[in-house]
Amino acid sequence: VASDHKLPSIRTVASLARVSTATVSNVLNARRSVAPELAARVQSAVEELGYIADLGASRLRSRKSAIAGALVPDIGNPFFGAFLATLESAARREGFDLLIVSSGGDPGQETARLRALLTWRPAGVIVIPCDDSFPAYEVASAAGVPVVAADRMPGDTPVDLVSVDNCEVARRVTEHLLAGGRRRILAVASHLAIANMRERCDGIRDAVAAMGGSALVEVLEAGLTFGEMRAHIAARLAAQPCPDAVFALNNVGTLAAVDALAAAGLSMPRDIALAGFDDDIWMHVVSPPITAVCQPVEEIAMAAWTRLMARIGGDESPPRQVRLACTVALRGSSGAAPGHPAFRQPADSLAVC
Amino acid sequence: VASDHKLPSIRTVASLARVSTATVSNVLNARRSVAPELAARVQSAVEELGYIADLGASRLRSRKSAIAGALVPDIGNPFFGAFLATLESAARREGFDLLIVSSGGDPGQETARLRALLTWRPAGVIVIPCDDSFPAYEVASAAGVPVVAADRMPGDTPVDLVSVDNCEVARRVTEHLLAGGRRRILAVASHLAIANMRERCDGIRDAVAAMGGSALVEVLEAGLTFGEMRAHIAARLAAQPCPDAVFALNNVGTLAAVDALAAAGLSMPRDIALAGFDDDIWMHVVSPPITAVCQPVEEIAMAAWTRLMARIGGDESPPRQVRLACTVALRGSSGAAPGHPAFRQPADSLAVC
DNA sequence: ATGAAAGCGCTAACAA
DNA sequence: TTGTTAGCGCTTTCAT
């Protein structure tokens, strides 16, 4: 854990440049004006020594942190990966580095990992909560660190939030399924403790209710991993009556559904329709291509970052909850079955919003 | 950037527990033995105040860092995402947090982002280099920070490295393609400046050479993004003579190839065979399922972490370069064309290694 | 076993 | 404009 190597400090630079440490600091941070000649001497000393400032020490003294924290359920999930990638480039543009930790979807870990984040005294944190309990919020606000939540509405916690219009978009997709003649819809959620899952289910039920009755919705809590979800879906497909449409409410569920449908020998869209959340490239290279909800993940990340920067900058206004709009890529997997009046030849990737 | 909130410091804890700051430190770090009564007082003061130690300050004084850096080309790429997820959990198990930055595949950024990492004084860094130039190595070793490279052999830099047997596995896959009667192989690389791409091409050529001549290999440098790669592949497929096998050498290329083949109206494995690097779940839910090389990404990450921990612990032995074995999931996309003597009904996901 | 005091690298206040 | 000094929160001597 120790390195005996001794890096040059600001004092090394100062003495080589024959100025005070304060002057070095002022040159490097462009804070007070410094005579060009001294500045040049400092710069060349920095080059010569390969000096790299210690931002930990800087933060300690100045009480200004150039690090932000990000807490997500799983770094390896492509949805969160895309979120983090956008967040990182946004952070870099403003001179922040990003300390990333993952909770594994476990609220206990959420607290533990947030505490670990806070030991580095980030200027703020962006959190995708595990579920409504959102224990990270208490910890961070007790520490006076600004928090912005993303993707999931954490219960009724009064926190800044950026998420999407889950209910609305799920309703639109469901209307599309109903228009194609589907009447027994299986909604595949991860866990209903996650707010966006509940909102998506609500949208499905809204569409069915608005239609006036003959359709049924069944919600399956299928778990967090691919294996769990596939097993739950497969078990349900083996039971009677078989649904005539599957709507998977997250990216893992969509993949699991495709796999389970194929394993059950059900063909889309003839035997069953499929729609899923979180568009990904593979969904339009398969045959039939998969109808999917496109969440604007880059925009979510950008909006969360912008909000966090405002809070870090001292914004004390009431928490704001933003909902961004999703689009839907209608593709072959969710078309009407042949023989249904709404049937038509599949047109690839006709985006609707 | 500033927070006016004042967190409890070790002094706050000390005075509430009526002990010295040294005792608090000793209790929290279990360093020297402390009377049980004092320890209890410290613990309850910590609880009461919600004290969270400042590891930046701790590192400053103790010169021991509990943070490690990770530098990858792209956080959003699922391959690197899986790598980082494993790395993070390995790090956490040893009490380290992970500062993650991405270079975007640009060597200039590689240097810049590594410098940013070093401002936090990590105990060590794990780097997936952009290409052979590996500028990060110079910077980090000049700073005396241990570096472990992963995934890509950076030229002849004498650095610890964990990667896979690229040449060997590419050779095996190619032999399989040749056995299926394929004779015009298109190898789709990102850039040949990346060592693992060259090694994979070498393996392909080895197999072709060993076979004795009638087969051809053509290497396409298709770029880093999905869009670029798809466009390059599509352009090549439109030209004559059309390859009868495509071997995509990374995950993005595989996706791009599937898309380009479909767009060109080529059917697998009848018109053309496809094999790709980096197995992913979608590859076996599509039809036909895609033959893929499975890199042991978790093992790569674990091995890299283990090596870094050894270096951080003071291991001064010569750099070690480890090659892990890949497996191949043989699936329908790469079977022999109907009519060829090697043709047989597709069996799904028959793993060979 | 415990406490007092020094100092890690840096910046902010104050002096010149 | 520049330098001097103090001190951020912590750990580590060194004293007791």
- Taking only the tens place, the pLDDT of each residue in A2-19 is 344 689 999 999 999 999
Task: Please indicate whether residue A225 or residue A1 has the higher confidence score (pLDDT).
Answer: A225
DSSP A70: E
Residue B351, CA atoms < 13 Å, CB-side half-sphere: 8
CB contact under 8 A, A54 and B143: no
For tokens 């009868």, name the residue.
Answer: B244
Angle among Cα A85, A121, B140 to the nearest 5 degrees reads: 60
Task: Summarize the confidence of residues A304-330 as an average pLDDT.
Answer: 97
DSSP codes, A239-307: SSSPPSEEEE-SHHHHHHHHHHHHHTT--TTTT-EEEEES--THHHHSSSPPEEEE--HHHHHHHHHHH
- Chain B residues touching A76 at Cβ < 8 A: 78, 81-82, 84-86
Q: Max alpha carbon distance in chain A (Å)? A: 87
Q: Do B153 and B215 contact (CB within 8 A), yes or no?
A: no
- Give the pLDDT of residue B27: 98
CB contact under 8 A, B281 and A226: yes
CA–CA distance, A69 with A128 (Å, rounded to integer):
11
- Give the pLDDT of residue A338: 76
Å between A155 CA and D9 C1'?
36
User: Does nucleic acid strand C have an atom less than 7 angstroms from the CB of A21?
Assistant: yes
- Give the pLDDT of residue B339: 74
Residue contacts between A and B (CB atoms, under 8 Å): 188
User: Does nucleic acid strand C have an atom less than 7 angstroms from the CB of A61?
Assistant: yes
Number of residues written out for chain A: 353
Q: Which two tokens stand for residue B188?
A: 């789709």
- Chain A residues touching B84 at Cβ < 8 A: 75-76, 100
Q: Chain D bases under 7 Å from protein CB?
A: 1-13
DSSP B19: S
Task: Summarize the confidence of residues A30-40 as an average pLDDT.
Answer: 95
Å between B39 CA and D10 C1'?
18
pLDDT(B2) > 80: no
Determine the distance from the C-alpha atom of residue A35 to the mean position of all C-alpha atoms in its chain, rounded to a whole number. Answer: 47
* Closest among B66, B126, B116 to B92, alpha carbons compared: B66
Q: Do A120 and B97 contact (CB within 8 A), yes or no?
A: yes
pLDDT > 90 in chain B, percent: 89
User: A18 in the Ramachandran plot: left (φ > 0), alpha (ψ -120 to 50) or beta?
Assistant: left
B348 confidence band (pLDDT: 50, 70, 90): very low
Which residue in the set A88, A145, A284 is minimally distant from B3, CB to CB? A145
Task: Please indicate whether residue B212 or residue A65 has the higher confidence score (pLDDT).
Answer: A65
Chain A residue whose CA is closest to B290 = A286
User: Does nucleic acid strand C have an atom less than 7 angstroms from the CB of A75?
Assistant: no
Which residue in the set B2, B55, B258 is minimally distant from A119, CB to CB? B55
R_g of chain A, CA atoms, integer Å = 26
Residue nearest to nucleotide D4 (CA to C1'): A20
Strands (E) in A119-159, as ranges, are 124-127, 147-150
Helix ranges restricted to H, chain A: 10-17, 21-29, 36-49, 55-62, 78-93, 107-118, 135-142, 166-179, 195-211, 226-238, 251-263, 282-285, 297-312
Chain B residue whose CA is closest to A88 = B101
Which residue in the set A60, A116, A312 is minimally distant from B60, CB to CB? A60
* Closest among A336, A331, A243, A351 to A286, alpha carbons compared: A331
Lowest-confidence region among A86-95, A142-151, A336-345, B257-266: A336-345
Task: Summarize the confidence of residues A293-302 as an average pLDDT.
Answer: 98
CA–CA distance, A162 with A152 (Å, rounded to integer):
8
pLDDT > 70 in chain B, percent: 95
- Taking only the tens place, the pLDDT of each residue in B100-148 is 999 999 999 999 999 999 999 999 999 999 999 999 999 999 999 999 9
A253 burial via Cβ count (<10 Å: 0-12, 13-18, 19+): buried
- Give the pLDDT of residue A154: 82
CB within 8 A of A146, min separation 6: which ones?
Answer: A123, A124, A125, A140, A308, A311, A312, B3
User: Does nucleic acid strand C have an atom less than 7 angstroms from the CB of A11?
Assistant: yes
CA–CA distance, B194 with B223 (Å, rounded to integer):
11
pLDDT(A297) > 70: yes
Q: Do A335 and A290 contact (CB within 8 A), yes or no?
A: no
- Give the pLDDT of residue B1: 34
Tell me the angle at which helices A55-62 and B55-62 cross, rounded to the nearest 10 degrees. Answer: 120
- Give the pLDDT of residue B351: 53
Task: Summarize the confidence of residues A299-305 as an average pLDDT.
Answer: 98
Å between B24 CA and C6 C1'?
18
- Give the pLDDT of residue A213: 74
- Chain A residues touching B119 at Cβ < 8 A: 52-55, 97
Q: Which nucleotide lies nearest residue B32, CA to C1'?
A: C1
CB within 8 A of B222, min separation 6: which ones?
Answer: B188, B189, B190, B228, B229, B232, B233, B253, B256
CB within 8 A of B182, min separation 6: which ones?
Answer: B215, B244, B245, B273
CA–CA distance, B210 with B105 (Å, rounded to integer):
34
- Chain B residues touching A60 at Cβ < 8 A: 54, 56-57, 60
- Chain A residues touching B52 at Cβ < 8 A: 115, 118-119, 143
CA–CA distance, B137 with B146 (Å, rounded to integer):
9
CB contact under 8 A, A255 and B285: yes
- Chain A residues touching B102 at Cβ < 8 A: 85, 88-89
pLDDT > 70 in chain A, percent: 95
CB contact under 8 A, B50 and A97: no
Å between B27 CA and D15 C1'?
20
- Chain B residues touching A282 at Cβ < 8 A: 255, 258, 280, 282, 286
CA–CA distance, B294 with A326 (Å, rounded to integer):
34
* Closest among B170, B172, B169, B187 to B243, alpha carbons compared: B187
Number of residues written out for chain B: 353
pTM for this entry: 0.96
CA–CA distance, B236 with A256 (Å, rounded to integer):
34
User: Does nucleic acid strand C have an atom less than 7 angstroms from the CB of A31?
Assistant: yes
Lowest-confidence region among A296-305, A332-341, B88-97: A332-341
CA distance A167 to chain B (A): 27
- Taking only the tens place, the pLDDT of each residue in B142-172 is 999 999 999 998 888 899 999 999 999 999 9
- Give the pLDDT of residue B170: 98
Q: Which two tokens stand for residue A151?
A: 């993707």
Q: Which two tokens stand for residue B314?
A: 């003071």
- Give the pLDDT of residue A155: 80
CA–CA distance, B148 with B304 (Å, rounded to integer):
6
- Within 10 Å of residue A145's Cβ, how many Cβ atoms? 24
CB within 8 A of A111, min separation 6: which ones?
Answer: A135, A136, A139
Residue B205, amino acid:
R
Which residue in the set A63, A97, A115 is minimally distant from B120, CB to CB? A97
Which residue in the set B52, B85, B115 is minimally distant from A115, CB to CB? B52
Tell me the angle at which helices B166-179 and B195-211 cross, rounded to the nearest 10 degrees. Answer: 40
